[in-house]
Structure 1
């Protein structure tokens, strides 16, 4: 790593701007990612996430501002940046006519890795990604989940300290998505820094240490998943009574705790704002003393869906492929 910069910061965006004619796709984006952590870039399709990643990975030149990867400036030291990071895009970039091992040998050769070391590294990655048995099959024979895993494995052939993942689980079924999440957690545990763009709110919640929410090219919020959830409102205490006939009695008890009790008689639920475990304990004691049977009682925090809606005014959209070309960067 370049000694001129703080080793504790693996990725730093500094007032990044990208314009396409009169359209500003990225407008003054700045953030820092500590080494060995995961930053989730969350936003709807067209928010500017992919364009920001392209600038940070030297695929597109910033209109203004810059970024540093492992201390290297993307504008002044692009070759050093490329040696310091890996990139997995929205669509698999491996050659479908080659086998998994052949793809790894091709990319490893481009990095100048020696034959013996390359063979050893390839086998390690194939095993890590559960692809050893499929290593000699052509990629066109792989399932969608296998293709994403071989694409990720290839991006790690040179063991980069930083990995950019642009919507890595787009199009995967839930089982394949969970498998890939487990792999990513393992990479972070081993010290890799991840920058993850996603429209899947659950994915950001599961993987990210910090999240930046991007809309219309600007960062509109930043924080840990819990910090962002707190912005969407306080936690709620939700009680589900066993018998519908007990709903009015439960309502009378909960009115002692809060003057904002919402009742859904059909679902037999009563919901009120909660300050924490003290309210939960108090409600549990009141219900128990009154002999009201309860099916469920617990605290419910706002989800990232609630955060997204409160920040952007709309729900997250389903993921859609985005063209890689700069000429289509306005869609990124």
Structure 2
């Protein structure tokens, strides 16, 4: 019994550490500190304990205890709903909304990271009892910790989102006008009839053009949710020269249907071009926006050969 307690405690700590590694409050300040962070830590601790005790419970033939894993998985699915509802309720307070796709992507990440905590603690327990068949107790613990740390590192890098800089070339372009039409790189972004607003846009706005690097990138960038995520990220990082009820100064992203390029219009507080480019470059690629038409063409070529 003493061994089960020790193994469960170590496994729980391993699972909690796995979650803490992935728990960061960055420039988006979500989860916010300390309240949201505390709730995520508590949920991670619960997930870790459930994963840790599953193997000892199974070895003790306490099969009913193992069913708690299934129950926990059901409850953790509710985390996505809670996070989604929380972020959606905040949308009305944002000058530039995140968008449904960005919110859903964030909610899925929070749900999956609790599974990481559970899987890490469960994995430690499994590795410990398997290695103990061939090694002594201390060596089994050491081997299990090393292997599960490697597993956590793999998950950490595997679950990282790609960035816009990986799929598109980012350039600053001049903002022009043709009468009331505001144009960036031959793409009409908005029609501003108010002369004063038009002058402010021409003097202060920054034009950005994203050129897709391949067919997959072109389709991914065409996604409305991905474009809104770029605008939201840039507004948070760079600031925005806009207040409530000033639609003329709203950030915009429009697609050139002929070339697949994305033209962006921003009225940001930051004027440094390198910082602006980096802001766009570091925007995450949303899971829901990813598309792989190249696989279709690849499979089509294989079918023709057959």
**TM-score category, normalised to shorter length:** under 0.3
Greater relative contact order (Cα < 8 A, sep 6+): 1
Task: State TM-score, norm by structure 1.
Answer: 0.24
Task: State TM-score, norm by structure 2.
Answer: 0.26
Structure that is richer in strand per residue: 1
